[in-house]
């Protein structure tokens, strides 16, 4: 496994600046998640590291070595894509063994069998090893795709939304498995997702991308509790952070906008808000409020009933302040 460092990397497609001057170090053994909405440049960043896309400028180093002139095979990265990419005419066993049979690796057959069996166990597909890839469900095919990366011992795993096509239960199981595999192998992993639960639970660090730029890099806790902008604050947290004019709240405040996480709105005293709707979700309730024409969402006691149009009092806790441009005011 190896450290990967990106220095001022950029890539444009015509007029679209897909990746814009990103500098970032993915430490040896780290599990780094790239977060950002569609079009933010996540996939392009992975493709630049793997060598599937050519840099316009900047440097990619893997294990301290500039890989700019290397082919994807020479870079020794294992990539898992959003859509499975299996050899349809091969069995699951042969699909999993394929990377190990590369002439460069020269892996002995008994080692291949052992590794394939182990990874099939992890991915809960040992009974499918004899099937052709075409005889699998979509979820099974994606597990084989992930397995094909995991049988290898590359410098870095690059994963592009590998769990997005799976159902919720399997996604949750594989989230735990990937985290465990990462801890066991001590592998370096760069992982793209839209799913903030994946980001929060698996990442050692999160890089937030906005229009091709890396706008914040930190631990999940830092990104959640100490976001640099409204944009970053909105990337983590469900329901999303409430962003409101600071003038709604009495007292001396900084900036022009206040950011309140749903769990940071206390009830009982403070300013009046009107209940719009309560969503009972079992272990908690989401309460939608109107505050002088602004919508607010907060979390509340699951046992309490809230009738629409009732007035309650709310009080902000641990507010975050932002200026008119959305930058954090410290």
Residues lying near ligand ATP in the complex (CB under 6 A) are found at 13, 16, 18, 36, 38-44
Centroid of chain to Cα 281: 25
Q: How many CA atoms lie within 13 A of 19 on its CB side?
A: 26
Which secondary structure element, helix H or strand E, spans residue 154, and what is its range? none
Coil, strand or helix: which one is 302? coil
Beta partners for 5? 25, 61
The C-alpha atoms of residue 141 and residue 85 are separated, in whole angstroms, by 8
Closer of 14 and 69 to ligand ATP (Cβ): 14
d(CA 175, CA 198): 7
Q: With respect to ligand ATP, which residue has the nearer C-beta, 42 or 143?
A: 42
CB of 12 to ligand ATP, least distance (A): 8
Taking the least distance from each CB to ligand ATP, the nearer of 209 and 291 is: 209
Of 250, 252, 329, 254, which is closest to residue 292 (Cα–Cα)?
Answer: 250
Whole-angstrom Cα distance, residue 180 to residue 173? 11
10 Å CB burial of residue 24 (0-12, 13-18, 19+) is middle
CB of 194 to ligand ATP, least distance (A): 6
In sequence order, what DSSP letters do the residues of 178-189 get, joined into one string? HHHHHHHHT--E
Closer residue to ligand ATP (CB): 95 or 193: 193
Residue 44 or 155 with smaller CB distance to ligand ATP:
44
Tally Cβ neighbours within 10 Å of residue 64: 9
β-bridge pairing 285-291 and 213-218: unpaired
Q: How far is the CB of 305 from ligand ATP (least distance, A)?
A: 40
- Rg of the chain taking only CA atoms, in angstroms: 23
Rounded to a whole number of angstroms, the minimum distance from the CB of residue 162 to ligand ATP is: 13
- Provide the minimum distance between the beta carbon of 20 and ligand ATP in the complex, in angstroms, as a whole number: 10
Task: Give the residue with the Cβ less far from ligand ATP, 38 or 311.
Answer: 38
**What is d(CA 117, CA 126) in angstroms, rounded to the nearest whole number?**
7
Q: Shortest approach of ligand ATP to residue 122 CB, angstroms?
A: 26
Residue 5 CB, shortest distance to ligand ATP, in Å, is 20
Minimal distance, residue 36 CB to ligand ATP, in Å: 5
Q: Which residues pair with 210 in a beta bridge?
A: 213
Nearer to ligand ATP, 34 or 97 (CB): 34
Distance CA 288, CA 266 (A): 14
* Closer of 39 and 302 to ligand ATP (Cβ): 39
């Amino acid at each position: 496994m190896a450290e990967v460092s990106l220095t001022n990397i950029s890539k444009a497609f015509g007029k679209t600046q897909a990746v814009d001057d990103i500098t970032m170090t993915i430490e040896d053994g780290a599990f780094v998640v790239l977060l950002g909405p569609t079009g933010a440049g996540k996939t392009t960043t992975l493709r630049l590291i793997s060598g599937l896309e050519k840099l316009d400028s900047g440097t990619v180093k893997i294990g301290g070595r500039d890989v700019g002139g290397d082919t994807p095979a020479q870079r020794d990265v294992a990539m898992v894509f959003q859509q499975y990419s299996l050899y349809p005419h091969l069995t699951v066993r042969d699909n999993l063994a394929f990377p190990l049979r590369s002439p460069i690796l020269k892996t002995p057959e008994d080692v291949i069998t052992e590794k394939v069996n182990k990874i099939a166990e992890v991915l809960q597909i040992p009974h499918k090893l004899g099937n052709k890839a075409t005889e699998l469900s979509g979820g099974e095919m994606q597990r084989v795709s992930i397995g094909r990366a995991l049988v290898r011992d590359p410098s870095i795993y690059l994963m592009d939304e590998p769990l997005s096509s799976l159902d919720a239960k399997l996604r949750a199981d594989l989230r735990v498995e990937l985290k465990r595999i990462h801890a066991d192998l001590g592998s370096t992993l760069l992982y793209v997702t839209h799913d903030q639960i994946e980001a929060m639970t698996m990442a050692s660090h999160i890089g937030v991308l906005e229009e091709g730029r890396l706008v914040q890099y930190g631990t999940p806790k830092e990104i959640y509790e100490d976001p640099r902008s409204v944009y970053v604050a909105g990337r983590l947290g469900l329901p999303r952070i409430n962003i409101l004019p600071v003038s709604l709240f009495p007292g001396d405040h900084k900036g022009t906008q206040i950011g309140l996480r749903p769990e940071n709105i206390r009830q009982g005293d403070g300013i009046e808000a009107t209940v719009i709707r309560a969503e009972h979700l079992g272990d908690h309730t989401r309460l939608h409020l109107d505050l002088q024409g602004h919508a607010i969402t907060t979390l509340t006691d699951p046992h309490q009933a809230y009738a629409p149009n009732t007035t309650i009092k709310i009080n902000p806790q641990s507010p975050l302040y932002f200026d008119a441009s959305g930058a954090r005011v410290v």
